[in-house]
Chains A and B, each alone.
Chain A
Amino acid sequence: MVVSSTATHNELDRLFRALADRTRRDIVARALAGEEVSVSTLAARYRMSFAAVQKHVAVLERAKLVSKFAVGRERIVRGEPERLARARAALVQLEALWLDRFKQLDAVLLTSPTAKGE
Chain B
Amino acid sequence: MPITSVTSDPQSLSLIVIGEYPVPVERLWEAYKDPRQLERFWGPEGWPARFTRHDFTVGGQSHYTMTGPDGAQSSGWWRFLAIEPPRLIEIEDGFAAPDGSPNTSMPTMRMTFTFEPVGTGSRFRGVTRFQSLDSMEQLVKMGMVEGLRSAMGQLDAVLADL
**Stretch in contact with the other chain, from A42-50, A51-59, A68-76, A88-96:** A88-96
Q: Once bound together, how far apart are the Cα atoms of A69 and B151, in whole Å? A: 40
Complex contact B151–A93 (CB within 8 A): no
What number of residue pairs across chains A and B have CB atoms under 8 A from each other? 135
- Most chain A CB neighbours (cut-off 10 Å) among B15, B24, B133: B133
Please, which residues of chain A bring their CB within 8 A of the CB of B133? 12, 15-16, 86-87, 90
Closest Cβ–Cβ distance, residue B68 to chain A (whole Å) = 13
Q: How large is the interface on A (under 10, 10 to 19, 20 to 34, 35 or more residues)?
A: 35 or more
Known: A3-B154, A12-B134. A118 touches B86 (CB 8 A): yes
Complex contact A98–B1 (CB within 8 A): no
Please, which residues of chain A bring their CB within 8 A of the CB of B17? 95, 98, 102
Measured CB to CB, the nearest residue on chain B to A28 is B11
Complex contact A117–B11 (CB within 8 A): no
Please, which residues of chain B bring their CB within 8 A of the CB of A2? 138, 142, 154-155, 157-158
State the interface size on chain B (CB cutoff 8 A).
Answer: 52
B positions within 8 Å CB-CB of A: 1-3, 6, 8-11, 13, 15, 17, 19, 21, 23-24, 26-31, 33-34, 37, 40-42, 44-45, 85-86, 105, 126, 128, 132-134, 136-138, 140-142, 144-147, 151, 154-155, 157-158
Q: Which 9 A-B pairs have the closest CB atoms?
A: A104-B41, A87-B10, A91-B8, A118-B85, A105-B41, A115-B27, A90-B140, A12-B134, A100-B45
